[in-house]
Structure 1
C-alpha cells in the first residue's frame, strides 16, 4: 500500500521529502481511519492549498495534517447522527482507538480527601467521564502554551487577600487560602437589561441626522442634570461676547484631525442655547483638568471678544443626587429565567461567585483553544455560579484567520470548538452552572458594528444555562421580584448589577485625553496613569450615561448611532463593571465622593481581566466573589 500512496502522490505532482518516514505515517493514517491511497492524497491536496505549501511533502507537516484528518473524521461522525451529542474527549478516544477509561483509572468508592482535587495538575487532556474539554486535537503535539511552567499563579488580589509569589505552581494551591473552592448550592437568576440592535438589521447606513440627534441629546441631558442639582443656573450661549462670567454646557471638540491638543480646543453647545455653534476654549488659567473629544462638560468663564471662552472652571461631573438619565427611555428587560422571576428572598444565594475572562482564547501559533480548555478545567474545579466569557472568540487578528489558512468557516469553528466546549462544561457541571457570552467587534464570525447584537445561539435544552448578551450589555443576577406573598421580606436584599463592554474604551481614552496636573511632571502622570484612567472612565462614562463617551470614535471603531443609540446608555451605576483592555489587568473598587453636602459615596468594582491568551503563551483571568457590596467583595487576578 505504501507503493500505492507514493504513486498517488507522484500522480498529483507531489514530491516526498523524507519518503520512508512520510509513507510510514500515511500508511498508519490510512489504516486508522480506513482511507484509501487516493483519499489520503486528496486530503493532503486540500491541506496544502489552504496553507499555500509547495509541491514537496515535508515530514514536519505530518502532525498538523493528522489534526485535519481527525477534524474531518469528527465532523463525519457528527453528521451521521445529527441528534447525537458526543463529548469532545469521546470523539478523540474513538479517533485514537483508545479505551473508554485509562487502565490506571478505576472508579470506586470516593475517598474522603477534602483537598484531593488540588493534588492533580490542571491538565485538560486524558480525563475520563466527560471531564475533558478538548477540541479533538492531537495530544502528542507540544505547543509553547503547553510547555509553560507556572500555571494559575495569583498575580494580585483585592480587599486584603494575601499576595503570593508569581512562581507558585498549581500543585501548591492545595494549601492556598486565596483561591477558595465555592460550592454553588443554588442557581443564580439572570435578567438582561440592555437594549440591542435587532438581529439581521441593516447597519453602517447611519445618517448625519442620527449622529447629530445623539450628540444633541447627550448635551441637553447633561445640562438638565446640572440645573436640576440647584448648584448652577440655566446655561447661556458661550459664543456671545460678555464681560461677565457665564455658565455654559457643551461637548469638547478638536478643530483639527488627529489627537486632541491644548490648542485649538473647541466647545460645541446645544442647539437650544447657541444653535449648535462652536467657540474656541482657552484653558491656560486652569491648573488641573482632564478632557477628551466627545466629553460633555460644564464651563464657567469669560468671553470678552465673542471669539474665545476663557475657562475659569470645568465641571466634569454630575451631582450624584441627580438622576442624569431622567429623560432616558426605560431599559428593555429580558427575563432569562421565567421560573425565577418570583422567588422568595431567603432562597437567593448570599453571595455570587464569578470567573471572568476575555479573548482571544487561542494562542497565535495554532487554533486549538488550549487556554479556553484549561480555563474550563479550572472552572470545573472551582464551580463558579457565573462564568463570564467576553470576546473575541474567533479573533479576526489571529494569524491563521488573517491569512485564510483555516479549512472551515468561522461559524463552524465557533460552533464546533467554542460552543461544544461550553456545552460539555455545563452538562458536566449540572444545572447550577451558568455561562454568559459577550461578543466583540474582533469576532470574525459576527457583525462588525458597535453597538453589537448578541450571538444567535440556541443550544438544545441549555438555553437557561448559556446566555448571550449584546455588546455593550447589562444584566442583573439574583434579582428578586416582590410579591404580596413576601411583603414582610426585604426583596432587594441581594442583587448584583453587572455591565460589560468588550470595546477597549480604556485604551482609547488613554490615547485621546489630555490633562494637566497641579503637581506637574511627566513622571507623576505616568505613575498615576492607571488610577487616572479609571477615574476618567468613571466620571465620564458612567455619570455621562454612555459606555462610549468618545466622539469622533477611535480609528477602527464601527460606531453606528442609527440602529440602537439607547444601547450605549447606562441607566444607573452597576455593582460590577467589566472592561477588557490591552492595558494592565486590574480589579479595583472605584468610589466617587459626593460633590455637594449630603451626597453619599457611590462605589463600583471595575474589572479588566486582561487577555486569556497573549501571543504563544497564557494570559490572565479574574476570579471574584461578590458578597452584597464592593467593600466585602474579594477577587484574584490569575495568570493561566
Structure 2
C-alpha cells in the first residue's frame, strides 16, 4: 500500500518531504477511514487547494489532514442517519423561550402584518406537543431548521460599514426585546441590461460536429495571436515545429499527446492552421522557473527549436494585452435593456453603485425537499433590501438523493415552479417593484437542458415589472453600469484537476486569473467528462467580450471574494481590476452553506463584501 500511495502522489506531482513518516501515516489513514490510495490523494489535493499550499507534502500538515478526514467521515455518517438530533437542557429552555416570544408579538397594522410574515418566514423552529411552531408535524422538523446561529460572517473584503437595512419603529429612542422591526423604504430600482441572448430558449443541440470543434479552437488561437502581434511587444508569429537556431515567437494551444490528464502525458503545443498547418510540437519547460498551464490554454511562447522535435521555452505569455480593443462591436453583440416602464432616470445620472446578494445552489438540504436554505436566504434579503439578487443553479439538483431515487410525486418542472418561482414571486411582491432577481441555470438542473453553453429558463410567469430575469449560462449583465459575469459550471475545480504549475504560491488566485487572462468562461479543452460542451451552439457565449467588474464562479472549493488585477502591458496603461466571487453552495449535505453580500461602489477597491454562513 505504501508503494501505491507513493505512486498516486507522484502521479499528481506532489513531492513528499519526510517520505517514510508520511507514508506510514497515510497507510494508517487508509485503514482507519477505509480509503483507497487514490481517494486519499484526492482528499489531500482538495486539502492543499483550500489552504493554498504548494505541491510539497509535509509531515507538519498530517494532523490537520487527519482532522479533515475525520470530518468527512462524520458528515457521511450524519447523512446516513437522517433526522437524529440531541437536545440539551439549555437548548430546550431556548426553544420554550422562543415559543413564548412568538406568542407575544401580535401585529395589528398593515406594516406589522408584513413584519409577522417576515418573522414567520425567518423564525427559529420551536416545538409544542406534537406540532412544530409553524404548524409542521415534528417528523418534518429538520436538523437544518434546529441550528442555533442562523447567519455568521465567515470572511470580509474591505471591511467597510454595511447598511443593515432595517430600522426600529418611530417614537422609540432605544430598541428593546419586544420591538417590532419595520420594513425600510423601498430601495432605488437598478438598471439592468443583458449583453447576450444566445443560446436562445428552445434551441436544438446535440449536433456538435468535428468541424465545429476545429473552427472554435482555430478561432481561439487566432484571436489570441492577433492582439499579441498588434501590441508590438513580440515578433511575428512563426511555425514552432520548424527547426531553427534563432529565438522565435509562436502562439498555440496547450494539449496532451494522448487522451488523459496533462500532468500524466508529454506537454504539446498546437499552433494554428495559418502558421503551421495545425502541427503539434513538444514543449520543453525545464528553463522556466515559474509557469501555470492547463489543456486548452492558448499561450504565446518565446524559445527555440534546434532539432525540430522540441520547442525549448524561455518565456510563456498567458494573457491578452489590454491595450488592444476587443472585437465586440464587430460581432454586434445583442443587448437587451429590461426597463419597460421607464423607471430609470437618464443613463448619464446612473452611478456605478450596486448592492447585491449572490448565492448558488443546491437550495435544499440532502435529507429533504423543503428548500429551507432558500427560505432563509430570502428572509435575509428582505431585511437587507439589496437592489439585485443573483441566484445560480442548480435549483432542482439532479444530484439530490431524492431525485436520484426517483422518489418524487411531482415532475421536475412542477417542483421548480412550486418551490422556487413561487417563493421568488412572493419575495418581489413583498419587496416592491424596485427589487430585481437574476436566475442563472446549471447543467445539474434536472428540469432544464443538459448542454453547455446553456439557454435561459423559460418561466412564462406574470411579471409586469420584469423583476425576475433569466439569463444564459454563462452570461454577462450590466446593472447600474456594473458589469457582472456569471458561470455556474464549476470551472475552478475542473481547472485545479488538470493544472500543471511550478513556482506558483497562491493556486486559488492563479485559477481565477486564468479565466480573465484567457478572456473565457470555460478555457479548458477537452472539457471535463461531466460537462456537455457543445461547440455548435453559440460558442461565442463562452468568450468574455469585456472584462467584468464582478465575476461570479461558484465552486465546491473554498468560498472567497478576491480582487484580481490585469496589469497593462505598456507604460502608463492603467490596470483593470475585477472582483472574483465564489459564493460556495447555499446547502451542503444536511447543513447550511454560504452566500455573499456585496456592495459595489464605483470600483473594487472601494467596495465591500461579506461571505456569510447560513
- TM-score normalised over the length of structure 1: 0.72
Counterpart CA distance in 1 for 2:435 and 2:570 is 44
CA separation of 1:361 and 1:332: change in aligned 2, threshold 3 A: same
Counterpart CA distance in 2 for 1:358 and 1:615 is 14
Give the CA deviation at 1:597: 1.5
Counterpart CA distance in 2 for 1:583 and 1:268 is 31
Counterpart in the other structure of 1:297: 299
2:268 is paired with a residue of what secondary structure? strand
Q: Any unmatched runs of 5+ in structure 1? A: 1-60, 62-100, 127-133, 164-173, 176-180, 479-494, 519-524
Summarize deviations over 1:267-294 as a string: whole Å, max 9, x none.
Answer: 1000000001111111111111110000
Counterpart CA distance in 2 for 1:354 and 1:434 is 10
Counterpart CA distance in 1 for 2:111 and 2:245 is 85
1:566 is paired with a residue of what secondary structure? helix
| Correspondences of 1:358-507 after superposition (within 5 Å) | 358-462=360-464, 464-478=466-480, 495-507=481-493
Counterpart CA distance in 2 for 1:108 and 1:383 is 21
CA separation of 1:120 and 1:339: change in aligned 2, threshold 3 A: closer
Give the CA deviation at 1:158: 0.8
Counterpart CA distance in 1 for 2:249 and 2:322 is 20
Q: Quick check: 1:609–1:637 contact (8 Å CA) kept in 2?
A: yes
Counterpart CA distance in 1 for 2:364 and 2:120 is 24
Counterpart CA distance in 1 for 2:449 and 2:585 is 21
Moved runs in structure 1, 4+ residues, more than 6 A? 115-121
Is the aligned partner of 1:543 residue 2:517? yes
Counterpart in the other structure of 2:148: 149
Q: Quick check: 1:354–1:384 contact (8 Å CA) kept in 2?
A: yes
Q: How many residue pairs were aligned? A: 489
CA separation of 1:214 and 1:153: change in aligned 2, threshold 3 A: same
CA separation of 1:203 and 1:602: change in aligned 2, threshold 3 A: same
Counterpart in the other structure of 1:335: 337
Counterpart CA distance in 2 for 1:337 and 1:371 is 30
CA separation of 1:342 and 1:194: change in aligned 2, threshold 3 A: same
Give the CA deviation at 1:138: 5.2
Give the CA deviation at 1:308: 1.2
CA separation of 1:456 and 1:448: change in aligned 2, threshold 3 A: same
Counterpart CA distance in 2 for 1:124 and 1:382 is 18
2:263 is paired with a residue of what secondary structure? coil
Deviates more, 1:350-359 or 1:410-419: 350-359
Counterpart in the other structure of 1:598: 572
Asked which structure has the greater CA Rg, the reply is 1
2:611 is paired with a residue of what secondary structure? strand
CA separation of 1:322 and 1:104: change in aligned 2, threshold 3 A: closer
CA separation of 1:498 and 1:319: change in aligned 2, threshold 3 A: same
Q: Quick check: 1:335–1:341 contact (8 Å CA) kept in 2?
A: no
Counterpart CA distance in 1 for 2:525 and 2:204 is 22
CA separation of 1:462 and 1:372: change in aligned 2, threshold 3 A: farther
2:331 is paired with a residue of what secondary structure? coil
Give the CA deviation at 1:306: 1.1
Counterpart CA distance in 2 for 1:376 and 1:335 is 26
Counterpart in the other structure of 1:123: 123
Deviates more, 1:543-552 or 1:403-412: 543-552
| Correspondences of 1:494-573 after superposition (within 5 Å) | 495-517=481-503, 525=505, 528-535=506-513, 537=514, 541-573=515-547
Counterpart CA distance in 1 for 2:445 and 2:111 is 43
Summarize deviations over 1:484-539 as a string: whole Å, max 9, x none.
Answer: xxxxxxxxxxx111000000011111111101117xxxxxx4xx22223233x3xx
- TM-score normalised over the length of structure 2: 0.75
1:563 is paired with a residue of what secondary structure? coil
Q: Any unmatched runs of 5+ in structure 2? A: 1-81, 83-101, 127-133, 163-174, 177-182
CA separation of 1:109 and 1:272: change in aligned 2, threshold 3 A: closer
Give the CA deviation at 1:553: 0.4
CA separation of 1:563 and 1:339: change in aligned 2, threshold 3 A: same
CA separation of 1:155 and 1:436: change in aligned 2, threshold 3 A: same
Counterpart CA distance in 2 for 1:331 and 1:635 is 31
Counterpart in the other structure of 1:630: 604
Counterpart in the other structure of 2:70: none
